[in-house]
Amino acid sequence: MSNSDPIAECLTRIRNAQGAKHRFVDIDLSKMKVSIANILRDNGFIENFIQNDAKGKMRIFLKYTNERKGIIRKIKRVSKPGRRIYLPVSKIPRILAGIGIAIISTSKGVIDDNEARKLKVGGEILCYIW
């Protein structure tokens, strides 16, 4: 079955697995998804991830509080295949006053909103996470 929006599928799998309180979730492997997982790990939204190149899969280990509540409160896909959203660096929003992050695809690669401001580059807003 072909998927017209693999990033949305990845984010939905993470959202559903965390809602079901799973320890990990397996998703298909791609460079974009690895970049997104790196950003999520670096910002403390997931524990870690491993990639299995032979099977073409990636396992993302989810992160919870001591009360077993998910660290990720909300994941919102912004730019979609039918409607791409591009913003200059001056218009990139601060998600919940810096508590959340925006993941952006730029000419410098897939980076979070803070890195985009530091590098002074805009791009396609992939998603918001808080």
**Interval 84-123: pLDDT, tens:** 999 999 999 999 998 999 999 999 999 999 999 999 999 9
Q: Where in the chain is the domain with CATH 3.30.1370.30?
A: 6-62
Cα 127 from Cα 39, distance rounded (Å):
12
| pTM for this model (two decimals) | 0.93
Q: Which fold has domain 6-62?
A: Ribosomal Protein S8; Chain: A, domain 1 (3.30.1370)
Pick from 112, 118, 114: which is nearest to 38 by CA? 112
Q: Where in the chain is the domain with CATH 3.30.1490.10?
A: 75-129
The CATH architecture assigned to 75-129 reads: 2-Layer Sandwich (3.30)
